[in-house]
Chain A
Amino acid sequence: MSIDSVFVHKMWNDHELSKMVQGGVPFPMMSDGGGKVGSIYGVYDEDAGVETRGRFIIDPDGVIQGFEVLTPPVGRNVKESLRQIQAFQLVRNSKGTEATPSGWKPGKITLKPGADLVGKVWEVWKTEMAFD
């Protein structure tokens, strides 16, 4: 979603993005002229008249599970967004019985918060795990 019109979205997709991604952009390229939607999400920069790089992860109940907002010159890390979605999906599928510690990615250990784990995280989770 950006402040560009749907016509500009079409030109950008048809003439540039479709050269980067086969078949073009597969999801809706939404238009937010005037920044009304960006304003309620807190990402519309009124002085510049554009949206900042806001990214919101919304679950199947319509609840915001996470967001990240960057100023325009720095791009996002799509891998990290995917990792977060996988983590939120795991937590949801476990009905909240499992949590993903720092550095978690698919295949790594999860934690089961409860009385048994209090003061014992150091036994099952090592600091290096946050970095690999």
Chain B
Amino acid sequence: MPEEFKPGCARPTGGPVGEALIQGETKNNEKPKETAAMIKVGRKAPDFSAPAYLKGKFVNINLSEYLGKWVVLCFYPGDFTFV
């Protein structure tokens, strides 16, 4: 079950969980690019952790909690947009 958390003033954020990102060569302090090439059908969905609002509570969600279930993961541009 998702774990509830008490939000403070800072905006909580999440991020990838597990395997280190594959880092390519970096030129003069250039930020290593997180690889977008990890996404392929038939391959594991990268695990992540993210804060969420769920039915009146603030909780932390890990994708790995949903193993054993079908998941639809949706991204969208922003709250209060029109489409």
| Interface bracket on A | 35 or more
Is A130 part of the binding interface, using a Cβ–Cβ cutoff of 8 Å? Answer: no
Chain B nearest CB: distance from A40 CB in Å? 5
Q: Cβ of A33 and Cβ of B11 under 8 Å apart?
A: yes
Question: Which residues of B sit under 8 angstroms from A3, Cβ to Cβ?
Answer: 78
Chain B nearest CB: distance from A119 CB in Å? 27
Smallest CB gap from B44: residue in A: A62
The residues in A between 53 and 79 inclusive whose CB is less than 8 angstroms from any CB of B are 53-67, 72-76
Smallest CB gap from A32: residue in B: B50
Contact among B16, B66, B69, B78 with A4 in the assembled complex (CB-CB below 8 Å) = B78
| Interface bracket on B | 35 or more
Question: Which residues of A sit under 8 angstroms from B63, Cβ to Cβ?
Answer: 58, 62
Give the CA-CA distance A15 to B51 in the complex, in Å.
20
Is A100 part of the binding interface, using a Cβ–Cβ cutoff of 8 Å? Answer: no
Question: Which residues of B sit under 8 angstroms from A41, Cβ to Cβ?
Answer: 36, 39, 46, 73, 75
Smallest CB gap from A7: residue in B: B7
Smallest CB gap from B15: residue in A: A36
Known A8-B80, A40-B34, A62-B63; 12 more pairs at CB < 8 Å: A1-B75, A4-B78, A6-B58, A32-B75, A36-B15, A37-B48, A40-B48, A52-B77, A55-B75, A56-B73, A64-B40, A67-B41
List 27 interface pairs A-B (beta carbons < 8 Å), by A numbering: A2-B79, A6-B7, A6-B53, A7-B7, A8-B80, A11-B79, A29-B52, A31-B12, A31-B52, A32-B13, A40-B48, A41-B39, A43-B75, A50-B78, A51-B76, A53-B74, A53-B77, A55-B72, A56-B39, A56-B71, A58-B66, A64-B45, A67-B39, A72-B77, A72-B81, A74-B83, A75-B83
Interfacial residues, chain B to chain A (CB-CB below 8 A): 2, 7, 11-16, 21, 34-36, 38-48, 50-55, 58-59, 61, 63-64, 66-81, 83
